[in-house]
Structure 1
Amino acid sequence: MRYTANARMYSVNSEAAAAWKELFSWLARDSGVDLDIIDHAFPLALADLWLRQDLGCAFICGFPFMLATRRLKPVVAPIPSKCSIPGRPFYATRLLVRSASEFHAIEDTFGGRLGYTVQDSHSGYNALRHHLLPYYRRRRTKLYRESVGPLTTPRRVIDAIIAGDIDIGPLDSYALDLMIRHEPEIGSQVRIVATTEPAPIPFLAAAPGCPDDIVEELQATLTTFGKSPESALLRDQLCLDGFAPVEIGDYELMLRWDTEARSAGYAHPI
């Protein structure tokens, strides 16, 4: 049987997308698993990708994974080269403004326009809300005059910031690393004013019905990626040190942050 592979969440530009396709080709060759590398770009819904019965290897954010009643099978989690916790599959959310703006701290953006990705995103919604919660508790009123979204993808958040359509927006730190690696000019157009607490990163997963032996072959092969000399260039292109096992217990943090915000009456970040 052929299984589908997709890295839509971290195919942040054409260069990154090509590198992920190269990785999946390597994975198919070395694991012996027949992978069909598919495109599933915006505006197609990520949820539709996760529902595929032939899914073998695709990224899913930990927040919708933890909320799901029928969960995908975890394969491995990436370890970014600029990891929030060195050597572990963690990331954070960078809160960005335009470089030309007068905002230098997150408090400077209050009263402006806040962007977000989608409500079941950790980096683009749940972590953003958790970071803003202490300010909301102190003020007991909304922090921004407008909440702009769903912007859905990191690319659309960056574009909205640069265009001035929003004053501040959340970016998955690993997605931002990939963007700047292949589009260094972005680094001069935006500025980080805050960073959230680290959290476990989105991971590669397979369909619930994917046979265990297929998942194990994919896991065994991907865990060699970080040490393979022939993969050094690809690791650089993907800003990766390698892959690690998925520790489901780490992702409970996302549910705790969600419950905490809702209990405080701060269901929507604004």
Structure 2
Amino acid sequence: MTPVANARMYSATASVRADWKQLLAWALAHAGLAWDVIDYDAPAPLSALWARGDLGLAMMCGLPFSQRAPRPTLVAAPLPSPARYGGRPVYFTDIVVRTGSAFETLEDTFGGIVGYTLADSMSGGVALRNHLAPYRAARGMRLYRGAVGGLIHARGVIEALVEGRIDVGPLDSYYHDLLRRNEPALAQKVRIVDSTEAMPIPPLVATTPLTPGELARIRSALQEATRTPELAAVTERLLLAGFVSPDPADYDVLAAISLRAIPPFEEL
């Protein structure tokens, strides 16, 4: 079974998807690995992609990565280039509202309708619940009069905000920044009122066995891809400063957060 590669998680636009495919294909070719870079577009569930046993280089949410036993092989993690990431393999959940709304702070949204992508999504669900939990505990009462889930992805959150179905919702910050760089007209429809603490960014993983040589070559090729002039325009559009290979244990914090007694959205 020939391994495959995919960057669905951060394919924020059609052009960004093409850029990720070009970068991954370049890296695989320079690593001497004849793998296919496949499409796997929404609304196909990411959980089904991550359950495949033939992934050689695929982006995976850090939460299922941290929970899975045995864990996939952590190949590399992206380093977003915007200054707020501090050159670290981290991301945030941006908590956003519709641009034309009167909300200025997170607390202003209390009493409204909160939205989320999927309850088990780190950036689109768990991180937001974790961020809101102290407010819920301090107030001793519900923060929101209702919740709307199943928004699937960041675009679903933005659409729900624009249509007035929700008042506030979460966006993966790197995805959000990719939208701001590559589809500003859509990104300008929402604005940030708060962001969560930094968490380990979704990594590129393999669910298929890799030899030490294959792993070393693909890691080296990914690093080279962000340095070669041939891909300079691509990495600029991807807001990508490089790749690192963090310790898989760095992601344990995500599993720990998911085990906390955090109220579900319907009780926040």
1 CA distance for matches of 2:225 and 2:86? 17
1 CA distance for matches of 2:54 and 2:213? 14
Counterpart of 1:155 in structure 2 is 155
Q: List per-residue Cα deviations over 1:12-51 (Å, max 9, x = no partner).
A: 1111111111112211221111121111112212122122
1:141 aligns with 2:138: no
1:21 aligns with 2:18: no
1:94/1:171 contact within 8 Å kept: yes
2 CA distance for matches of 1:214 and 1:83? 32
> Mean Cα displacement is larger for which, 251-260 or 51-60?
251-260
Counterpart of 2:97 in structure 1 is 97
Alignment equivalent of 1:266, drawn from 258, 263, 266:
263
- 5+ residue gaps in structure 2? none
Instruction: Give 1:213 shift.
Output: 2.9
User: Aligned in 2, Cα 1:210/1:60: closer, same or farther, shift over 3 Å?
Assistant: same
Q: List per-residue Cα deviations over 1:187-208 (Å, max 9, x = no partner).
A: 4311100011001100111114
1:60/1:202 contact within 8 Å kept: yes
Identity across the alignment (%): 42
Please, what is the CA RMSD of the aligned residues?
A: 1.6
SS in 1 for 2:224: coil
Q: Tell me the amino acid that sits aligned with residue 34 of structure 1.
A: A
Alignment of 1:42-191 (within 5 A): 42-82=42-82, 84-191=84-191
1 CA distance for matches of 2:85 and 2:167? 28
2:9/2:59 contact within 8 Å kept: yes
> Mean Cα displacement is larger for which, 220-229 or 201-210?
220-229
> Mean Cα displacement is larger for which, 180-189 or 231-240?
180-189
TM-score (normalizing by structure 1): 0.93
Q: Tell me the amino acid that sits aligned with residue 218 of structure 1.
A: I
For this pair of structures, how many residues does the alignment match?
A: 267
Alignment of 1:31-50 (within 5 A): 31-50=31-50
> Mean Cα displacement is larger for which, 249-258 or 190-199?
249-258
- 5+ residue gaps in structure 1? none
Instruction: Give 1:83 shift.
Output: 5.4
User: Aligned in 2, Cα 1:246/1:226: closer, same or farther, shift over 3 Å?
Assistant: same
User: Aligned in 2, Cα 1:61/1:15: closer, same or farther, shift over 3 Å?
Assistant: same
1:95/1:168 contact within 8 Å kept: yes
2 CA distance for matches of 1:75 and 1:67? 17
2 CA distance for matches of 1:213 and 1:47? 28
TM-score (normalizing by structure 2): 0.94
User: Aligned in 2, Cα 1:103/1:183: closer, same or farther, shift over 3 Å?
Assistant: same
2:116/2:157 contact within 8 Å kept: yes
User: Aligned in 2, Cα 1:212/1:121: closer, same or farther, shift over 3 Å?
Assistant: farther
1:54/1:210 contact within 8 Å kept: no
Instruction: Give 1:143 shift.
Output: 1.1
Instruction: Give 1:245 shift.
Output: 0.7
Counterpart of 1:245 in structure 2 is 245
2 CA distance for matches of 1:212 and 1:152? 36
Q: List per-residue Cα deviations over 1:145-203 (Å, max 9, x = no partner).
A: 11111212111111111221111110000000111111111343111000110011001
1 CA distance for matches of 2:247 and 2:161? 34
1:111/1:143 contact within 8 Å kept: yes
Instruction: Give 1:268 shift.
Output: 3.8
SS in 1 for 2:214: helix
1 CA distance for matches of 2:5 and 2:110? 41
